[in-house]
Amino acid sequence: MIYWAPLFHFYQPPTQAPEILMKVANEAYRPVLEVFDEYPRARATFNINGVLSEMLGLYGYTDVLSGMRKLAERGQIEFTGSGKYHPILPLIPGDEVARQIMLNHITNQQYLGEAYKPRGFFPPEMCYSRDIAEPVSASRYEWIIVSGIACPVGWPMDVIHHVDYAGQSLAVFFRDDILSNKISFKDVDGRGFIEHLKQLHQGEGDIYVITAMDAETFGHHIQHWDRLFLSQVYETLVPAEDHQAVMLEQKPLADQHRKLFEYEQSQDAGEIKIVTISQLLDLFPEGQKISPRPSSWSTSAGDIQAGNYYPLWQDKNNTVHVMQWEHLDLAIKVAHKAIEVADNPASLDYANIARNALDRALHSCQFWWASRRPMWDINMIDKGLALQREVLLNSLKAISLSGCSQEEKKENYIRVIAARHVFDRITDYLFVD
């Protein structure tokens, strides 16, 4: 038996324009949920970052949230944990990692209710380092998914390896990068995908395959891919009688002359079973203790060899990336000081504004759009900087109104001046480049 566990990643940045959110919801989110409604035995693991849940609720797309909740209650999907604002977890301070994980859980429970019971963890962009294992384990997740490029041993298809941290064991699943990218870039159709799965099954024992990609792939990035790929695969692998039952329930005959389209159950449905990632824990034995390589789902072997583990977000050869992280580091330091010293109502108000702005200012998209591999958008870079400047403004105000020493006030004022200089350098670069 081949067990296929697909993961869909739903995310939009906190700086996303409302019209783009509407477009993505109409082109991808609603169509993907419709596919799952049509195939009640279809299974998947969903990651939705709390920032998107919040935006869907605030902007009136509650049908998307209720659709996910219904699928989870029916047992068709499971949810994962993540960081609320989709930060690159290995690149931010440990206390910020823990906070992002906590905020994500609180927000998703608010919008998805009791259906949100994640057992596994999806690090944004699958960016992994040893440092994030501790906060993920401490949050009581049973497993984490990382990129296939992170695997330091022979490719696991019939065992589940694990990492240990502070006495806690965390199962590690690896995404099939090759197959996932084939789907994401329209290099394989539904029939070809199923044939690929079958070719991976060389022996007689059971194996598993995990694919993971952006949910926006299906209809937004690739028009009608929800139907041309996803429906085609599920139609082949889901038992025909299930699909006919849903057709009868959802589309009752208007007259006696209409005919149902008859589906023949493929033999593939008996050879390939669709499951959630957590179900694999009950199906396959534990493997060995390993140390996955630091990486992302966009990292190449050459990047790892060069020590450039997160190239789309912190490329050491990218001038803008270097300046962005310099600016953000200053913002984090000043914000942390503001939270520490705020000691009266006025300073606490500004420190709270800074704290909330910093949560949003950690989002990954501002760096992704500066990567030039090939993404480049000066407005998305500027929107990220604007959030960081909001952090700096309110943090310094909180510090100046607090009862901390003049030396501390001066030190953080100098940090803000330094950040202003970095901001001007980035802006000049965006103007002339």
For 208-226, the pLDDT digits (tens) are 999 999 999 999 999 999 9
For residue 267, the model assigns a pLDDT of 53
346 and 287 share a domain? no
336 located within any domain: yes
pTM of the model: 0.93
For residue 261, the model assigns a pLDDT of 31
For 290-332, the pLDDT digits (tens) are 999 999 999 999 999 999 999 999 999 999 999 999 999 999 9
The pLDDT mean for the chain works out to 93
312 located within any domain: no
Residues 169, 321: Cα–Cα separation, whole Å? 34
371 located within any domain: yes
89 and 233 share a domain? yes
183 located within any domain: yes
Q: Does pLDDT of 251 surpass 50?
A: no
161 and 273 share a domain? yes
Among residues 277, 303, 329, which one ends one of the domains?
Answer: 303
397 located within any domain: yes
The C-alpha angle with vertex 116 and arms to 114 and 117, in degrees rounded to 5, equals 95
79 and 159 share a domain? yes
At 289, the amino acid letter reads: K
For residue 202, the model assigns a pLDDT of 79
72 and 187 share a domain? yes
310 located within any domain: no
For residue 433, the model assigns a pLDDT of 74
Region for residue 59 given its phi and psi (left: phi exceeds 0; alpha: psi -120 to 50; beta: otherwise): alpha
7 located within any domain: yes
313 located within any domain: no
What residues make up the domain containing 342? 319-432
121 and 269 share a domain? yes
Among residues 257, 275, 303, which one ends one of the domains?
Answer: 303
246 and 299 share a domain? yes
What's the structural domain count of the chain?
2
Q: Which of 23-32, 158-167, 338-347 has the lowest mean pLDDT?
A: 158-167
225 and 123 share a domain? yes
52 and 172 share a domain? yes
Residues 187, 261: Cα–Cα separation, whole Å? 29
Which phi and psi (to 5°) does residue 77 adopt?
-130, 160
**Where residue 244 sits, what CATH number does that domain have?**
3.20.110.20
* Chain CA centroid to CA 371, Å: 18
User: Average pLDDT, stretch 79-87?
Assistant: 98
298 and 339 share a domain? no
For residue 268, the model assigns a pLDDT of 62
Beta bridge pairs of residue 289? 162
345 and 217 share a domain? no
282 and 330 share a domain? no
Residues 296, 293: Cα–Cα separation, whole Å? 9
Return the closest-CA partner of residue 55 out of 15, 95, 1: 15
Q: Which of 172-186, 193-207, 212-226 has the lowest mean pLDDT?
A: 193-207
Residues 392, 91: Cα–Cα separation, whole Å? 19
For residue 432, the model assigns a pLDDT of 84
For residue 242, the model assigns a pLDDT of 52
